[in-house]
Structure 1
């Protein structure tokens, strides 16, 4: 019986990818570099610090890694704070509330920085529902490395067989499978070049899930 649901954030709880894409394009323009969409899509699911490291390895950027990370945050938070249309993905809040009200333990395990996670949780009043919020900035390796999901399962207090993960990105799903945890792949309309074929189950609408269907996943 499933006792813990581990959520990714971007592309699952809220779709900040368009905001991030727009902000990053402005950042890349300021740096006078051209990052193709094919390269950009490989970044999805990685932590901010690992993306910055990849940018430094791929392109001639004079800024230090720390300076580049701060620039990245500056562009992102400006776009986030001024975007009035940002909303949670359809049906996910209802699912979160349903799981919470039925005693399911909820954990966020996102590659996003703690600052981004707090921004999203503040904006959509999510703090009360989650037992833990785990950020990828605390790990040396990003998804598809399984470390963040291994930590989430350990914090749950249950076995990994009693946990499931909801993910949308190729890297995230690979990380879930590498951790040995059942993974539901969310293939929403906003998916940006991501492949969910490795997931144990794929959904296109959060209405396909509720406490009963998740609790009895085998």
Structure 2
């Protein structure tokens, strides 16, 4: 029986990934006009380390860690999305409904702790989660399943008692690797591989349908 629901943040609670991708593309294009936007799709949902590798491939130059950190910081210095405007409108109600039905609710995102705090505070959601964790707190983030296993352990739940709500290839891999049931938001803009997801959903209200099906078995 599912007793806890663990959400990813970017692409699941907020439609931020297209904003980040376009911002990264426009910034990089100033220095590397040859860059291809579609080639950057692979960075969506990836770790900072993997993003460095992808950017190096896309621009056709090896980028060392120090140079990349400077470049990466510069990319986001003036990126300030209006998070409430890109919050999925059903999020506040779905979180309340999950609590009403007795589920534990957690957030496990590859985004930095500061980034998570910024989103949750501006959207008024900080008190709606029983546990919040950032991928930067682990040696390896998604697709490594550690972030999800840690979250389940903190909630005192077995992996089989957890439903993960994801969107990206790496996030789905992490949830699957943790031995959890995975529901993936359908988003065909970035070529995500959903083959390891147990369910594909069009919106967050469908999480309730998934839970009802799983818990009726």
So what's the TM-score if we normalise by structure 1? 0.84
Q: Compare 167-176 and 204-213 and name the one that shifted more.
A: 204-213
Deviation of 1:38 after TM superposition, in Å, equals 4.1
Residues 186-210 of structure 1: CA distance to partner in whole angstroms, max 9, x if unpaired?
114x742223232111111223232
Residue of structure 1 equivalent to 2:94: 95
2:206 — aligned with what? 208
Structure 2, unaligned stretches of length 5 or more?
none
User: For residues 92 and 207 of structure 1, what CA distance do their matches in structure 2 show?
Assistant: 9
Kindly state the Cα deviation for residue 34 of structure 1 after the two structures are TM-superposed: 4.2
State the match for 2:70 in structure 1.
67
Counterpart position of 1:197: 195
Find the counterpart in structure 1 of residue 107 from structure 2.
108
Pick 1 or 2: higher relative contact order, CA cutoff 8 A, min separation 6: 1
Deviation digits for residues 157-176 of structure 1 (CA, Å, limit 9, x no counterpart)? 11111111001111211111
TM-score (norm 2): 0.84
Whether the 8 Å CA contact 1:49–1:69 is kept in 2: the answer is: no
Answer yes or no: is 1:28 the counterpart of 2:31: no
Change (3 A) 1:166 1:13: same
Aligned length: 213
Q: What pairs with 1:173-184 in structure 2 (closer than 5 Å)?
A: 173-184=172-183
Q: Assess, with a 3 A threshold, how the Cα gap between structure 1 residues 67 and 57 changes in structure 2: closer, same or farther.
A: same
Q: 1:74 Cα deviation (Å)?
A: 0.8
Match of 2:11, SS state, is coil
What aligned pairs does 1:165-176 form with structure 2 within 5 A after superposition?
Answer: 165-176=164-175
Would you say the 8 A contact 2:142–2:171 is kept in 1?
yes
| Cα deviation, residue 214, structure 1 | 7.0
Tell me if 1:43 matches 2:81. Answer: no
Q: Distance in 2 between matches of 1:217 and 1:140?
A: 37
Helix, strand or coil at the partner of 2:133 = strand
Aligned match of 1:149: 148
Alpha-carbon distance, 1:33 to partner: 5.6
